[in-house]
Every structure is written in structure tokens, then in C-alpha cells.
Amino acid sequence: MYSETIELRGHIIDSLILPKVLDQILTHGANFKITEINIGKKRADQSFARLEVSAPTSEALDELILRLRQHGAEVAKRADAQLVKAPADGVFPLDFYVTTNQQTFVRIDGKEIEVHPAMMDSAIALDRKKRIARAVKFFDVCKDDEIVVSHEGIRVVPVQRSTSRTDLFQFINVIIDADEPKSAVIRGLARELQSARAANGKIAIVAGPAIVRTGAGRHLVRLIQSGYVDRLFAGNAFAVYDVERTLFGTSLGLNPDLAFARGGHENHMRAVNAIREAGGIASAVKKKVLTSGIMHACVAHNVDIVLIGSIRDDGPIPGVTTDAIEAQKIMRETLADVSHVLLLATIHHSLAVASMLAPTVKTVCVDIDPSAVEKAVEHQPLQSIGLVTDVEPFLRELADCVVEAESAGSARK
Amino acid sequence: MYSETIELRGHIIDSLILPKVLDQILTHGANFKITEINIGKKRADQSFARLEVSAPTSEALDELILRLRQHGAEVAKRADAQLVKAPADGVFPLDFYVTTNQQTFVRIDGKEIEVHPAMMDSAIALDRKKRIARAVKFFDVCKDDEIVVSHEGIRVVPVQRSTSRTDLFQFINVIIDADEPKSAVIRGLARELQSARAANGKIAIVAGPAIVRTGAGRHLVRLIQSGYVDRLFAGNAFAVYDVERTLFGTSLGLNPDLAFARGGHENHMRAVNAIREAGGIASAVKKKVLTSGIMHACVAHNVDIVLIGSIRDDGPIPGVTTDAIEAQKIMRETLADVSHVLLLATIHHSLAVASMLAPTVKTVCVDIDPSAVEKAVEHQPLQSIGLVTDVEPFLRELADCVVEAESAGSARK
Amino acid sequence: MYSETIELRGHIIDSLILPKVLDQILTHGANFKITEINIGKKRADQSFARLEVSAPTSEALDELILRLRQHGAEVAKRADAQLVKAPADGVFPLDFYVTTNQQTFVRIDGKEIEVHPAMMDSAIALDRKKRIARAVKFFDVCKDDEIVVSHEGIRVVPVQRSTSRTDLFQFINVIIDADEPKSAVIRGLARELQSARAANGKIAIVAGPAIVRTGAGRHLVRLIQSGYVDRLFAGNAFAVYDVERTLFGTSLGLNPDLAFARGGHENHMRAVNAIREAGGIASAVKKKVLTSGIMHACVAHNVDIVLIGSIRDDGPIPGVTTDAIEAQKIMRETLADVSHVLLLATIHHSLAVASMLAPTVKTVCVDIDPSAVEKAVEHQPLQSIGLVTDVEPFLRELADCVVEAESAGSARK
Amino acid sequence: MYSETIELRGHIIDSLILPKVLDQILTHGANFKITEINIGKKRADQSFARLEVSAPTSEALDELILRLRQHGAEVAKRADAQLVKAPADGVFPLDFYVTTNQQTFVRIDGKEIEVHPAMMDSAIALDRKKRIARAVKFFDVCKDDEIVVSHEGIRVVPVQRSTSRTDLFQFINVIIDADEPKSAVIRGLARELQSARAANGKIAIVAGPAIVRTGAGRHLVRLIQSGYVDRLFAGNAFAVYDVERTLFGTSLGLNPDLAFARGGHENHMRAVNAIREAGGIASAVKKKVLTSGIMHACVAHNVDIVLIGSIRDDGPIPGVTTDAIEAQKIMRETLADVSHVLLLATIHHSLAVASMLAPTVKTVCVDIDPSAVEKAVEHQPLQSIGLVTDVEPFLRELADCVVEAESAGSARK
């Protein structure tokens, strides 16, 4: 048997760190012995545990220790990280360490450096002189950059459970199902967003076309007008649906007041054409081609708009980033200072954004498909809420709560 | 090749009768020759077609003709129906004719008798003396009753498309998807229900527990109070959820104002117990044990309540019909004079009710699961609308429309 | 602040008992102080913890303690259970204790008695003389029976995690998604069922109509023939589909070899009629009306068949229990000695059966709908596996594994 | 009232042309009078109908006539198409005609020119000199190109129903649900693909990652080896999953033989890195880095590989087209000569490909999500089959059928 001693620190029981570590050990067919344990007496107290982990082969132990480190375990016998030079531009050395989205430290010359940003599925490049550790994507790496390999010298600090009792996000991967009440959560979310705004938090919305098609656009506009949206991420289709609705009053050619008539794709194409002719969304607002709607509200209220292209797009309209790698870079930059994200009815963009978030970003996902909601919140275990519902009533109720609170607030002054 | 001549009458093209007949012929690997066709010039005009259908074997032709009859084809060479006596109580003769839910006539002594009721998956029992044809279920048949066998002498008259331009239900199996706008349909439905009530139509609601759990109960109560509900079909669980909410303010032990706390099953069980102790819903209302909620509103406004048992029930409370065959009988009787049915968030009961409806009953199905909606509306091809959405906002908006219209109506007086 | 001291024993960390208890405390807005903790050093060792729990009101504390007891907490200050007489037949006293499906003890005269059976959503009736504690349903209770009220004197012992490394069921609510590999689990399940059979375990199948319709019936027959099925639970429709297929070669009138032809309901009705005429499934087998298929195999191999009625049934055929309460009783009895349950493509029956299982019954649920799978396995957190897949290939592969193993086994002899 | 006379030709009843036209007229609140009708007597005969359509406003009539043209109606009073010059590069004139995916003709100087390619959601650019009409996308159009506006002079010829009785694709939007038998369709599909290959048809596969993850890759490899795949469309993730499985034996770090262990993302990232280091898939095959798996089989058997980037990609590997517009061009070119398309478990790519297909391309969609299947086949109403099932057993059975037929074929020789 091969063994290693690991240590755990923090709220290791109620944040599920110790249970997850034990679960990993058992799942990998390994064994453990707890050599020391010291559980915090009160809620706010820290705990500590030291475990001896053993596995039948050295490889199995190594694989297991990697996994335990990702859940916050530290190896007792501290070593420096191992570095290997990148063999070519855009290529990492064999066995490079793959990051999680948790706060991560790397030990060099006996001292730890924090890796920035906290970005998953990257390698860690180290600048020894400047003592800087960067999480880098493939396109970021140049030949001879020093890259961390294996997982020695790595320490991960998982997000711990909030000890505040009033925090909407103090629970573990909460999902409100279709047949459960949502009003209380929506009211709580309105309060959370108000606090966020008061504290200069940045709120991002990732928005799917169903928002426009179901008629929920006007509720999103109210949120924008009240100052609750700092960034908007969407596809070309979302913007075009909004423009079609503003210019022609239709959605896929369908006037929403005619209950059933299935319209055609003509107005959608003409909306693309109109924005191309105007030179883009901002120009269209300036030239008064576009005088209302979500995109207009974004321009009027200085919301940063990130439009992302796809192989299903018509057009696209100017301003859409059609290259996927370029779009990833822009998304990452625009998400860097965000504190709250609402993922609304757009699984593809939601999963992309969710994989780019720092672990402390508070995340709400709304979708009518339960499995979409589940996947979107799984990366933020202690910071996310999912709601399985229609996006239209969600946005209506959220905007009602926010606007009500606003007018109550201004009345008070 | 074996062949037979069939005839079609009515709005055979825009009600899809002729296309469906041709589709069946082709699908069965048979062939056709149109020997006469006379298409109505205007929308309201009737059309006529005579086809010679041929198939490779006599059996294949017979099977095909049966299918074509179900789509409204008449066989040119008219014959009387064949009758065979039931061999025992509860048992039909071999090869008995199985009914559809369409208007059906059976030819005896050269004259046609209409079969009552228009009920699917039944046999036809004939009383020659009284010249009465009844659709009968297995439990209805007695030894020696005369039962129609094969399909000779049967004529089916499918529901034809409404020629009124203002009818919400003039389209073919309309389903509004999750990402489509629903407000216009809900407003149209409110108008339809108003007209129905004005014309003494009977409105039935088939209600699932999600209505209570999502907090939509108060909107259903508003519909009941405004006189828009004549019959309520639900399971034991629905009634118990409503009672739990009224007595304890919880749903599965969960106070809906505490966003996340997962409650227990205790209050659900205590709600059952309270109604058992009171002797049933109506007694509980009389004894002031139950003073608000959906069940209370039903009692107060003389809504007929049909509660159906299931193997998943706790209790049940008194008044629930636990025998499935007995429940079928009660449901059929209570549905007999209904003109409109709303199937709300309860797939099992909805499919049962949908299979018992006469073909002219206007049907609306609301569910968050698209495939549930599809199955629930397929039996009423020209009389149904499906909405894929959360039931809470649907009921909220419908109740708003109805109550608004009511107060506009009373203001006018 | 009101406070109470609780104690936890067993594998309280890796079976998630302590984390769940802390989660409940936090979720209820309460607080805790760990006054003693002793964590088992090795996997097989027991642990112990004593906590002081405090809440703002006496009611909140009481509600919280109830919840903690259900997760296995014992109150340090031990008291006898409180008993109140049932006020009437079929009615429990106010505030009766509602059972979980975990092993439960009740303290009387300073000594604990185990409650039998371990059945959820029941009350506990106590016979002081015989010192017997029974879990009773509403219909079981008679006036003046002594029933446990509140939760004093109750101790619950949750199922703990298996410490065996080779157990397929050692993990927590495992669900294999549609896009994950299933072969390894199916092979593991085949081995598990073999061991079960060797150890005289009883295997129950809960079977939905899709098994017949998709053509998986012959694989289920192979399992029956190999002796891997002791009990079969199904609805009337399942049996009728199987009979239709055996008698007419069709499924809803559809010959599965004609790819697309949509058949009619006639053969389904004739199948019902044939079994009614024969006097039931067993008679039909005896009279050689039924000579193959699943129902035939069950009769031939002495599988106990439990057929359950529903409001959607045609017929039903003789032998179907149409009364829901009667059916619950039969199901409970027939499930009492079962060690393994396979819930196959039938959500309604699966949820009913899942709620009747003792906590140690190993449960596998197969359905193409992920949310059905999730609900079906949630009551057996440490004893269940869910597979999101088509039931036909699942049964095919399972039968292949089992039959292969059988012939390997007999070759060896 | 404004009115216009339209004409319909072909199999206007069994291909649903006349019913759809009447449905559109009624849905738009318009009216009709059939002034002449001549129905083909036999299956292969053509039919003809002339209708006078009237609507309350000129705009409503125009909108209606546009819709009727898309269903194959010709306006009796023939006129030349109207042309307007494009105002700028990449911008169409106002009111440009938006194409469908049906065969389309445009009338110039009294003569009709066919538009190439038959591509939906494009404009029509006309070269008067060369008498060439091209369907053009936004990026294709240059300032002053002559573009068709309004819909005068346009004639659309919808795909008509096959009159062959043995064609698997002779039915209308067939979807085989999860609970329906699939074997007969899969066998039929195997025969269809054999005939296609014999007739030098080109078969394209659009493949999702679930194929690799569920272990279905080896069945896809068998299809490739038997020469049944000419083009493969997939995302970067698909290729990486395949490489990870080949290089490391894992899928998301998970060894499929360890039933439950949830692996990590490391091997996925290392697979990307390995292919980047090798310089791409083809190089990796050449350098023997990649010696088996799907991508290897594609290289070995000269399958054209089209890899498409997305914002969720890691890497990407060399050869992936990351620009969405560039990818659309490549996809359109690579699909131009394809006769059969299999859309397998990848909704995003499937919908993109489906929107690029000529109307005669035979399409099969396999997905476990019914609504994905529905959307993917709706553009090919008379040429598509959908199967709601797990992709692994589908591919296994299809490969079995094909390989069996192959060996039967070679045995016969």
C-alpha cells in the first residue's frame, strides 16, 4: 500500500469538504485513517483534519491525491511545484496541471503565490522573477514559458459556506422545480440585486431569444432602466429578435396578438438587413432607426453588450464576434469584475459563461428544462440557485419587485 | 387485387379528411382511383369524393376500409351492420366493432341509428325493438346483448373544421411552445370561457397538485368565485395539498415564504387526518374547519368535485373514489354535459379525461412538459389548444383577464 | 434562545449524517455548538458527536429537532414517547408522529422497541402489553389504539454507507445520464442479481408498457426464464399489451415490422376481451389461449404477478386490483421480503413502489426521462442507481449478461 | 375585398399542398372560392386547382399570397420579378424576397430561371446577362447587385410525395417515440443507406459527443470502415472526446469500466494538447500518435471531416473552424452534394445543418430529447424520420445491420 498524509482546513464539515474528500477516497477504492481532527465548536469557527490516505498503487494514490487537492486537501509534506517549459507556442508540456475554478496557490521556493485569474481548465504559467502565477489558455502560452506540471506544490481553497444567516446564496446547489413556489426566491433575489447595486457589484445578464419571443423583453427593459444590468451577453439571434419586434412588431414574422398565425422568416431577415444598413446597433440607435426595445435600452443606459456568433446565425449584424476563440477572450474580460450573473433561457451561452466565472460569482439560472438548469449551476456549488420555469413570468415578477422597491426607496427620500 | 368503393362528404379537404384517407391508403401499401370528385367552391360549401380503393389481399382491404371508415369514409355499397350475441356477461363477441370518439351511425334494416354516447374504445350494443344503439364498456355488457361485429354498416362523421373566422378553436392541434408568446391565447381563452358561460356551457377543470404547490391556488379560486368552473376533477393529493395550505400555510411542510427550507410530510398527513376527522371536505367546510382555499371555494360555489384515488395516495380523505372502474363511471357521467375542459398540470388525469370527451368538447391543456401536452390534445384534433408553460402564470393571467372582463361588464350595466 | 443537546452515532461523516444535520440547522436559521466530537479513525470505525442546538423560539426548536431526529440525531435528555388514543376508527390523534422509511425505535418505560415495518408516512401504534410497535396507515387504526404523538422518545437509525469496497450500491444517489456509458453498470448489476439469487434474495420488477411496445419483452422473458424475477408489478395496460402482442403480433394495432403504419386500438380491446373470456391470465395459459410472452413466462415460472388498475384502463382483465387502497395493501405485502427492485419505464408505479420500500432494498430505476429517474431513487439515498436510457437496450444487455453468466456457470459444473 | 387568382399543380392533395393552402387562407382570416379543380384519378396522376383568394385589405392579401407561394401556389396573372440594386456591400434592398429551401423559379422577361442553390433564408441575386439566379447570403452580396424584391414573379415547387411504395421516406414527418419499436426502421434505414451507396449517394453524419461518451464510437467506426460515411460534421469537443478515449481510455477522465468514478477534466485537456503538439488530427494519425478511434477511421477511410468551433471549446485542436461565418460556408459547400444526412445526438449542429439542406436530402435525426428531434426534421417534411432514443443502441443496431448485409453480400459473390 502507498500512502500520503493530507490536511483539511476551514468549514470542512458544513461546506462538505471533509465528506467530499471521504467520498472520493471511497469511490477510488482507497482507504483512510483520521490521525487528527479538531471540529470548530461554533458556526463561525474553523475546523482542521489530518488524514492518512492509502491506495494499492502509486498511480492510484497520485490520481486520488490530485482529486483531493481539488476539493481543498493539502498534502502535509509540502513541496515546491514542478515546472517544465512549454515545447512550442500554444502547446503545454506533458502532464501540465489543469486548473479548477477555485482559488489556487502554487508553491515556489517555499512560498505560495496565488494564481490569477481563478479560471478553470487552464494551465499555470509561472514568472519566477516577477513571482506571478497566471492561469493560461492554450492560445496564451508561448514556447519556453514555465508551466506547472503534476500537482505537487498546488493548494486549492474551495469557496466555503457563508456563515451569514440572511444570505440567499448560503445553500448548496438549490434548484426550485417546476412544481415548487418561486415568488419567495424571486423577492429574495430582488433584494440581493439591490444590495449588489448599492455595493457597486456588477450584474451580468446572459439572455436567450425566448425572452423576446415570449414577450418578456419589456420586463428586461425595466431592469435595465432601473440600473440593474451592467453587462448583457447574447447571441446574434437575440439581438435580431429584439430588433424585429421593435421595427415590425413581430417575432419570427408572427404578430404576438394574433394568437396562432405562424409567420415567416422575412421580418427576421429584414431586421438583420436594417441593422447592417445602419452600421450596427449603436448607430441604429443614434440614427433613430431603433427607438425602443432591449438593445435600445442597453445603448441608452450604457450596458456593455457582448454579442456572440454561431453557425445558426442569419447575418450577422455588425458588432457580433463570430470567432469562437476571440469571443471567449472578450467574454472572460467582460466577466472579470462581475459579482452576479443571471443565466436566462439560453443553455449554450449559459454553460459557456458558467465555465468562465470565478467561484464567488453569485449565479442564478432560469430555464424551462430541468437538466439545463442543473448543468448551469453545478460549477458554483455554494453560490447558485436554479429555477425551472418559464422566463417570462420570472422576469415579470423580478422587474415588479425591483421597480416597487425602487419607488418605495425614492418615496422614502 | 381486391377493391371497394368509398365515398367522402363534408369539408373533406380543409378538415383534412381526404388527405388523411389518401395517407392511410398509401401507408397501407394500397392503391386508389378517384372516380368522382366535387369540391365545394366556397368555404361553407360541402364537397364530395368517390374513390375506388384496391389492396393485394382481402384481409388487407378489410383492415384498410376499417381505418378509412374511422376517418369518415362511407362504403358505397351499403349494408346492414352484423350483430352477434355477447357470449357472457362482461365479454364481447369475437371481432366486435371498436368505437372511436367520433359521431357514429349504425345501419339496421336499411336505416341508420346514431350511437350514444360518442365514446371511444367501446363496443356497440343494439336494442332492435327500441331501435337504440349504445356505446358500451366491458362492464356494461350482459350475456346475449346484441353487439355489432366487423365494420359493415358503420358510418363515422368526423368533426369538421369550424367555418367561423373568430373561433379560437378553428385550427388543427395548436401547441404554443415554451418560447412562444401566450398572452394573446390566454386573452382569447378568457373571451371563449365568457361566451361559454353566457351560453350555459359547462366548464370542467382537471387540476394537478402543482397548482397548489406553485401558489396558483388563489387564481383558481378567483375563477371559481367568478363562476367559471362547473366541475373539478382532481386526485386525493390535490385536495390534501390545498387543505394543508389552508390549515398550516405549508406545502409538503414547506412554508412558501421561506425560500428554501425543505419541509417534511407531517402537515400533509395531518391535513388528511383533519379531513378524515371532519368527515370529508363538505363537512369540514360546514364545521368551519376549512374556511378558505380551492376546496372551500368549490363547496361555497357549488362546483361538482370529483376526487379520484391512486396507489400513491395518503389517506385518502372521505369522498375520494378509490376504485378505478367506479371512478371511470363517475368521470364519464360528470363529463357528459361539459362543453369546455382545462387540463392543468396533471398528465395522468388529463389523459384519462381526454379519452372520455366527446369530439366537440373544446380542450385546453397546460403543462410544462411538451410531450404531455401533445398526448393530451391529440384526440381532439380540431378542438384543442396546448400551452407548454408553468401553470402558475397561466392561471394568474387567465384569472386577471376574466376578473377584468367581469368588472368591465358590471360597470357597463 | 431555546436550546437542546443532540447526539449522533455511526458513520456520521461519510454517510453524510453530520453534514445533513448541520445543513438542517443552518437552513432553519438556528445555531449550533459542538460540545464533543470523536471521529472514527478508520473506515469501519464508528464516530460520535454531541451538539448543542439553539433556536429563537421554542416552536422553531421543536420543528428543528423533529427534522434532526429524522436524520438520525438522538436527543441527549432521553424521555419516553407520548401516547394518545385514536379518537375514531381511521383517524389519528392530533400531532401524531409521522414515520420515515428508516429503522425507527420508540422508547416506552425507559426501553426502546423497534417499529415494524419500516414504512414511511405512517403513524406508530403501540401495544403496551405485548410491547409491540407497529407502523400503521389510516385504514389500520381503530378507535382507542394508542398512537405516538410529537417526537419525544423516537430514535431513527439511518442506513449507513456500506464499508465494502465491491458493493455496486456503495455510492450516494448515482444517476447515469443519457450521455454516459452504461455497460459497466449493467454488467455490475448482472453480477449483483446473481449474488442476490444465490443468497435467496427476492427480485421484483416494476414494469411499464414501453417494455412491450419497444420489443424488449423477449429480454424480460429471458430474465424470467433464468429465474431472475420473483415478483412482477405492472398495470392492466402492461399485461394487455403483452397479450395483444402474443395473440395478434401487434402493439396498439401496429405490427412492429411495418415501420410506420399507425395501427388502431382494436387488437388492444380484443386482447382484453380474450382474457376476460378465458377468465384471467392463469386460465388463459392453462387453456392454451396464451402460449408465449411475458405473462405466460410469469405463470410458467411461478412469478408472483401484481396487476394494478388505473382510470385509464380498458377492461380491466380479471386479476387486476382496481381499488387503490386494496392495491396498496397487496403491494406492501408482496414487497415485504424483496431485496432488489428494478423500476422499468413506468413512473407512476415506480414512485408508488419506491415509497413502500424498506430503506435497505437495493433499487435500480431505468427511464428515458431524467426527472422520473431522480424522483424514483431519492428515497433510497445509499441503495439506489438510476439510468437515463431507453428500456429496450437496457433489458437486452442485462439479459445478455445474465444468460451468458448462466451458461458459463453451467458449463463449469 | 381584394382578391387574386392562384393555381396549384402536382400531387396537391396527398402531398398536402391544397390542404396547407386552404389552412393558410383560413388562418389569415381570408376567404376562397375554388373556380376549377381537376383531381388526378390515380396515384401517379397530377392534379390541378384554381382558387380565387380574397382578403379585407391589400396588405393582408399580399402577405397571404407570399405565404401561399411558399406552399407552391402560382399566381395566375404572371408577372416578371421586380429587381432593385443592393445599396451597399453586404446589404440587401428593402423588401427583398426571402427564399425557402424549396426549388424556386424567378420570372424575367417572361421566362423562368431556376434559383441555385435551393437555400433557405437568402436573397435572390440576378445576373440578367448570364440569365443566372443565385441564392445569396448577406456576405455574398455586393453593391449594385440586382436583387429580387417583393414576391411577384416567384414560383416555388414544393417537394412532392414519393409515389414509390417501398420508400422508407414516403411519409410525413415521422417521429418514432421513446416507447415505440425502432428495429424495423433501423433495418429499413440500413437498406436505404446500402442503396444510396450503390447509387453513389453521399452520406453525411453530424455527430455529438454522446456518441463517444456512451461507448458508441466503435459502432460508428464500423460504419466508416464499411464505407457508409462520406462526410463527418462535429464540434471540437467530439474530436477531443474521441482522442481522449483513444489516448487515455477515458471520457471526461472517466474510465467507462469503473462504473461510477467521476473523473476530471485533465485527460480532456491533455488530449487537446497532444493533438496541438502533433499539428492536427491527420498529422497525429500520420505520426502514429492516434492509432484507433473515430477520427483515425475517418482519416484512414478518406472521410471529409468538418470540425466546427464553439465558445465552449477547450483548445481548439488544429483544423477546427472557429469563425461561425467561415464555418457556415464550409458546411454549405460540404453538404452541397450530400444525399443522406444522419443527425446524431447534437441538437445545435443538427439544426444548423438541417437549415442548409436541399429539400430532397433524406434526413434521419436521433436524439433522446423529443423536442430536439421535432425541430431537426421539420424542414424536410417529406424526407425525414426522427427517432427518440439513446444514440448508443441506435448505432449498434445500424452497424450490425449494415455489416451483416455486407457479409451476406460478399458471401453471395
Residues on chain D touching B371 (C-beta within 8 angstroms) = 370
Mode of pairing for the β-strands spanning A174-176 and A384-388: parallel
Nearest of C186, A61, A29, C173 to residue D261 by alpha carbon: A29
Pair C87, C160: CB distance under 8 Å: no
Query: Cell 356551457, residue?
Result: B201
Query: Cell 408577372, residue?
Result: D79
Residues on chain A touching D322 (C-beta within 8 angstroms) = 323-326
Say which residues have a Cβ less than 8 Å from residue D83's Cβ, sequence separation at least 6: D126, D146, D147, D148, D149
Pair C324, C188: CB distance under 8 Å: no
Distance from CA of A157 to the nearest CA of B (A): 27
List Cα–Cα distances, A193 to A26, A335, B202, B205, in angstroms. Answer: 41, 17, 46, 39
Distance from CA of C156 to the nearest CA of A (A): 21
Q: How many CA atoms lie within 13 A of C175 on its CB side?
A: 21
Pair B188, B182: CB distance under 8 Å: no
Going by pLDDT thresholds of 50, 70 and 90, the confidence category of residue C413 is: low
Q: Shortest CB distance from C314 goes to which of B121, B276, B331?
A: B121
Instruction: Give the amino acid at A27.
Output: T
CB within 8 Å: C256 and D174: no
Least confident stretch, B12-21, D72-81, D309-318:
B12-21
Going by pLDDT thresholds of 50, 70 and 90, the confidence category of residue A299 is: very high
List Cα–Cα distances, C155 to C80, C112, C162, in angstroms. Answer: 11, 9, 21
Alpha carbon distance B318, B321 (integer Å): 9
Distance from CA of C55 to the nearest CA of A (A): 12
DSSP-derived 3-state class of residue D384: strand
Going by pLDDT thresholds of 50, 70 and 90, the confidence category of residue A256 is: low
What pLDDT sits at residue C174? Answer: 82
Instruction: Give the amino acid at B119.
Output: M
Query: Which letter, b or e, does each residue of C303-331 get, where b requires 16 or more Cβ atoms within 10 Å of its Cβ?
Result: bebbbbbbbbbbbbbbbbbbbbbbbbebb
Residue A413 has pLDDT above 90, yes or no: no
Instruction: Give the amino acid at C282.
Output: A
Pair C22, C65: CB distance under 8 Å: no
Alpha carbon distance A17, A12 (integer Å): 5
A260: closest chain D residue by CA: D27
Query: Three cell numbers at A217?
Result: 423583453
What pLDDT sits at residue D26? Answer: 82
For D147, the enclosing helix (H) or strand (E) is: strand D146-149
Residues of D with CB under 8 A from a CB of B: 13-14, 16, 18-19, 22-23, 26-27, 29, 31-35, 37, 39-43, 49, 161, 165, 170-172, 370-371
B93: closest chain C residue by CA: C273
Bridge partners (DSSP) listed for residue A84:
A147
B175: closest chain A residue by CA: A260
* Mean of the per-residue pLDDT values of chain C: 91
What pLDDT sits at residue B44? Answer: 82
Say which residues have a Cβ less than 8 Å from residue A98's Cβ, sequence separation at least 6: A121, A122, A123, D264, D265, D266, D269, D270
Residue C273 has pLDDT above 60, yes or no: yes
Residue D30 has pLDDT above 90, yes or no: no
Contacts of D among chains (3+ CB pairs under 8 A): A, B, C
Mode of pairing for the β-strands spanning A47-55 and A31-38: antiparallel
Chain pair B-C, CB pairs under 8 angstroms: 130
Query: Three cell numbers at A9?
Result: 482546513
What pLDDT sits at residue B174? Answer: 82
- Spans in chain B with pLDDT lower than 70: 163-167, 170-173, 253-263, 410-413
Nearest of D367, D401, D402, D361 to residue D381 by alpha carbon: D361
Contacts of A among chains (3+ CB pairs under 8 A): B, C, D
State yes or no: cis peptide before D370, omega within 30 of 0. Answer: no
Alpha carbon distance C102, B269 (integer Å): 17
CB within 8 Å: C312 and B269: no
What pLDDT sits at residue D184? Answer: 87
Least confident stretch, A178-187, A196-205, A267-276:
A178-187
Q: Shortest CB distance from C184 goes to which of D184, D257, D396?
A: D257
Say which residues have a Cβ less than 8 Å from residue A1's Cβ, sequence separation at least 6: A31, A54, A55, A56
Least confident stretch, A69-83, B43-57, D246-260:
D246-260
What pLDDT sits at residue B256? Answer: 64
Pair D265, A98: CB distance under 8 Å: yes
The length of chain A in residues reads 413
**DSSP class per residue in D21-61:** HHHHHHHTT-EEEEEEEE--SBTT--EEEEEEEEESSHHHH
> In terms of DSSP H, where are the helices of A109-249?
183-198, 210-213, 217-225, 236-248
For an interface test with D, give the residue of C167, C169, C189, C214 to mutate (most D CBs within 10 A). Answer: C214
Q: Shortest CB distance from B393 goes to which of A171, A184, A393?
A: A393
Phi, psi of A236 (to 5 degrees): -55, -40
List Cα–Cα distances, B287 to B64, B101, B138, B279, B320, in angstroms. Answer: 61, 43, 41, 10, 19
Q: Shortest CB distance from C34 goes to which of A33, A41, A165?
A: A41
For residues A7-32, average pLDDT: 88
Query: pTM for the complete prediction?
Result: 0.93
Q: Shortest CB distance from A13 goes to which of C19, C35, C171?
A: C19
Distance from CA of B324 to the nearest CA of C (A): 5
Residue D166 has pLDDT above 80, yes or no: no
Pair B154, B106: CB distance under 8 Å: yes
Bridge partners (DSSP) listed for residue D176:
D387
B396: closest chain A residue by CA: A393
**DSSP class per residue in A248-273:** HS-BTTB-TTSSS----SHHHHHHHH
CB within 8 Å: C183 and D389: no
DSSP-derived 3-state class of residue D91: strand
Alpha carbon distance D108, B190 (integer Å): 50
Widest distance between CA atoms in chain B: 74
Going by pLDDT thresholds of 50, 70 and 90, the confidence category of residue C163 is: low
Distance from CA of C174 to the nearest CA of D (A): 8
Q: Shortest CB distance from C390 goes to which of D178, D256, D259?
A: D178
Query: Three cell numbers at B281?
Result: 371536505
B236 CB-contact burial (10 Å; exposed 0-12 / middle 13-18 / buried 19+) = buried
Query: Three cell numbers at D307?
Result: 470540425
D186: closest chain C residue by CA: C259
Least confident stretch, B225-229, C133-137, D116-120, D258-262:
D258-262
Going by pLDDT thresholds of 50, 70 and 90, the confidence category of residue D48 is: very high
Alpha carbon distance A380, A354 (integer Å): 8
Distance from CA of A164 to the nearest CA of B (A): 15
Alpha carbon distance A274, A280 (integer Å): 9
What pLDDT sits at residue D255? Answer: 66
What pLDDT sits at residue B109? Answer: 94
Contacts of C among chains (3+ CB pairs under 8 A): A, B, D
The length of chain D in residues reads 413
What pLDDT sits at residue C148? Answer: 98
Phi, psi of D235 (to 5 degrees): -90, 170
Residue D377 has pLDDT above 70, yes or no: yes
For an interface test with C, give the residue of B311, B335, B350, B357 to mutate (most C CBs within 10 A). Answer: B311
Mode of pairing for the β-strands spanning B340-344 and B362-367: parallel
**Of residues D367 and B359, more confidently modeled:** D367
Residues on chain C touching B94 (C-beta within 8 angstroms) = 270, 273
For C20, the enclosing helix (H) or strand (E) is: helix C17-27
For D320, the enclosing helix (H) or strand (E) is: strand D320-321
Residues of A with CB under 8 A from a CB of B: 168, 171, 174, 178-185, 188, 209-210, 213-215, 251, 254, 256-260, 345, 368, 388-390, 392-393, 396
CA A265, chain centre distance (Å): 33
CB within 8 Å: A66 and D95: no
Least confident stretch, B387-396, C309-318, D124-133, D166-175:
D166-175
State yes or no: cis peptide before C93, omega within 30 of 0. Answer: no
For C157, the enclosing helix (H) or strand (E) is: strand C154-157
Say which residues have a Cβ less than 8 Å from residue D167's Cβ, sequence separation at least 6: none
**Of residues A402 and A162, more confidently modeled:** A402
Q: Give D361's DSSP letter.
A: -
What pLDDT sits at residue D44? Answer: 82
Say which residues have a Cβ less than 8 Å from residue C288's Cβ, sequence separation at least 6: none
In this structure, the number of other CB atoms found within 10 A of the CB of residue D71 comes to 21
CB within 8 Å: C37 and A33: no
Say which residues have a Cβ less than 8 Å from residue C297's Cβ, sequence separation at least 6: C220, C221, C224, C225, C303
* Mean of the per-residue pLDDT values of chain A: 91
In this structure, the number of other CB atoms found within 10 A of the CB of residue A393 comes to 23
Alpha carbon distance C294, C193 (integer Å): 19
Alpha carbon distance C31, C29 (integer Å): 7
What pLDDT sits at residue B258? Answer: 54
What pLDDT sits at residue A165? Answer: 58
What pLDDT sits at residue D164? Answer: 64
Alpha carbon distance D67, D286 (integer Å): 53
Distance from CA of A91 to the nearest CA of D (A): 6
D396: closest chain C residue by CA: C393
The length of chain C in residues reads 413
